[in-house]
Structure 1
């Protein structure tokens, strides 16, 4: 089983990262995941036919960026979740 610890730190001179881990053993292997804030960039609209002509890797990258940009909205505004379990028959009744 993997245990998760959460730390916040800053990048040091020389682009180095320092984390003090007093509860770990010397030589112990750990996984490090780095999550950074991405600057808010206004998305450029793209023509659908031009989008479909892009290589699949580029399309995935663009869709991933758009999903990450939309995530804070859906985390803060949870009203959309009320519609997940709506019975359509109730709406038309």
Structure 2
């Protein structure tokens, strides 16, 4: 939001973010009220940090299930048949 609107104050950015989040929550609640399942696809590792975590405060009664996807680090180590060791990842180059 800040990159798209560099001239806006933090207060205005927060206001716009809250508006977008409210719209998203309303769409999700409408779908849940119809008995539909909802999936949120997002970046990040949900065991460390993910951009969707704010939504949990709006859905305290609903069941939220986190299904982690294939992380890039796991993909790289699998592809090169190498250990998941941070030193290896820093020193190796992907060709």
Q: Give the TM-score range, shorter chain.
A: 0.3 to 0.5
Higher RCO (C-alpha under 8 Å, 6+ residues apart): 2
Q: From the CA coordinates, give the structure whose radius of gyration is larger.
A: 1
TM-score (norm 1): 0.34
**Structure with the higher fraction of residues in helix conformation:** 2
What TM-score, normalized by structure 2, do the two folds share? 0.33
